[in-house]
Amino acid sequence: MMRLIRAAGVLLQPRYCSLTLILSLLFGSWSTHASDPWSDWPLERRIAQMFIINLDSSILTESGRDFLAAVQPGGIVLLPENIGDPAAITILTNSYQQTITTAGGVPLFVAVDQEGGVIAHLEQGFTTFPVLALMTAAADPALAYRVGQVMAQEMAAVGVNLNLAPVADLETNPANPIIRRRSFGSRPEQVSPILAAYIAGLQSADVMGTAKHFPGHGETATDSHIQLPTVDLSLDRLNAVELAPFRAAVEAGVGAIMVAHIWYPALDPVENRPASLSPTVITDLLREQMGYDGLIMTDALDMDAIDRAYSYPEAALLAVQAGADLILSAHVGLTSHQQAIALIAEAVRSGALPESRIDESLRRILDAKARFGILDWQPLDPAGASQRIDRNAHERLVTELFAAGTAVVFDRSDLLPLRASESVVLAYPATRPSIARQCQAVLPDAHLIGVSASPSDEEIAWVRSSASRADVIVYFTQNADQDTRQVALVRALPPEKTIVAALWSPYDVLQFPEIAAYLVTYSPLDPAIPAVCAILSGAAPPHGQMVIALPGLDG
């Protein structure tokens, strides 16, 4: 719903007007320094707007309430320990906002990691969305826009106004321990238009998006939650590949960009300086060269890539000096936040950090809060939270997404669609009985064999025996690239008449590249099953494209 602000007798729409205009109508001429409406705020209060913190409870405790009222940070991030059902989340976000506004503060960013797929912190009572790559596979920006929009509607229904997503990293390294299966895809030309459409849809419903992890986490081989990765790529490569989706996000008007805890030697000559603390990455590259004027946010400063080398207050100061607007943290004590704010204030008062650096970020923060209607906060009715989340309609959208994105990667023997004259064996994990139900409805003559998720030697022999008498064998895998028993089953089958349908990892085929045909769903949710069965039977043509590079098979 469009929120309206009335100022000086004029109705304003915050998403389409800047805080500059709103506050100039409320307080007089907008200029710098003494005439700024917030110019009389204490320095510490201005700095506090730059912090997005977590309060470690599913309810607002007395200590948390006192901290919000006294310190008045810019935002709160919800983590799994904070999150319950929609009504409980609504009660919690209402309590945060009511506390801050009653104390005379500015309404908060309320953030969550809601990527879809692997990372989705809103679960109980919310729609389960597939991985981002499925949107890219569907190759339909209008569909990606709708997915972003309905995800935002579910977040807004419980008082969340900032999504720490989407992932703009490309999945270029199959060994990546942190980005794999979280990315929109491997190729910037496929990813960029879908990423931009998703951002537009998300932000159309007054939830600010965050493109992450700038300038690109996809090529890392280590996890920045554990140690500082190095991405040693050339400037030409970074510009052509890793930075391309972020340029698309900038052009789409994404509200925030999150900077990674990764050292990029080609971008910053200072050894082992993370991008999140680097003025050459944040200010020179992102702000000046790429022309981004939205909010620049650090990844969580309590990750091991940072806290092995810096204290939290030290890292916060370095990030602000580098040009960051928002300091994100996950598990940091309230006293540490106060120490970080005090250290930054001391740097301003000593002349080590220009006060204008603080005020520059504060303007962006308040402008973003106006743009996304946060300044016009009103409490939500917890009793109506589940009704505000239209799961039935949103689940139909997920089904539509699988139908559009499920892909035939190759069909070397022209086996698809299956012919009525052929005898077909269909083997599947017995833990997924919906496969039998859905496929038997469109392939009534297929011989169905349910096997263990990790098939035994006896089960493999059973399937092999049945396959020897069939014209075509279809086997549904689930992360076969991590399960030697599934690989053994496929390798026991005649490759020239074997079709594999990968229900989770698109990399399964690398374990048996000689098979005749390969389908991918990208995500294991139940709506994937009718999409695969429809392709097998010919009830629907395959629409999806392959968006994850497969070493040795790609291109």
Report the C-alpha gap between 127 and 123 in whole angstroms.
7
Q: Could you say which DSSP state residue 366 is in? A: H
Catalytic residue among 121, 225, 447, 543: 225
Report the C-alpha gap between 472 and 415 in whole angstroms.
8
Helices (H), 443-542: 457-468, 484-491, 528-537
Q: Give the number of other CB atoms < 10 A from CB of residue 488.
A: 17
Q: Give the number of other CB atoms < 10 A from CB of residue 494.
A: 14
Report the C-alpha gap between 431 and 429 in whole angstroms.
5
Torsion-angle region of residue 522: left (phi > 0), alpha (psi -120 to 50) or beta? left
Closest CA to 380 of 90, 62, 10: 90
Q: For the chain, state the CA radius of gyration.
A: 26
Q: Could you say which DSSP state residue 514 is in? A: T
Is residue 491 a contact partner of residue 512, using CB atoms and an 8 Å limit?
A: yes
Q: Give the number of other CB atoms < 10 A from CB of residue 39.
A: 12
Does the annotation mark 225 as catalytic?
yes
**In the block, which residue shows the tokens 């549904």?**
476
Q: Which token pair is 35?
A: 């005439």
Catalytic residue among 140, 299, 367, 508: 299
Report the C-alpha gap between 249 and 114 in whole angstroms.
17
**In the block, which residue shows the tokens 């209060």?**
45
Give catalytic residue positions.
Answer: 225, 299
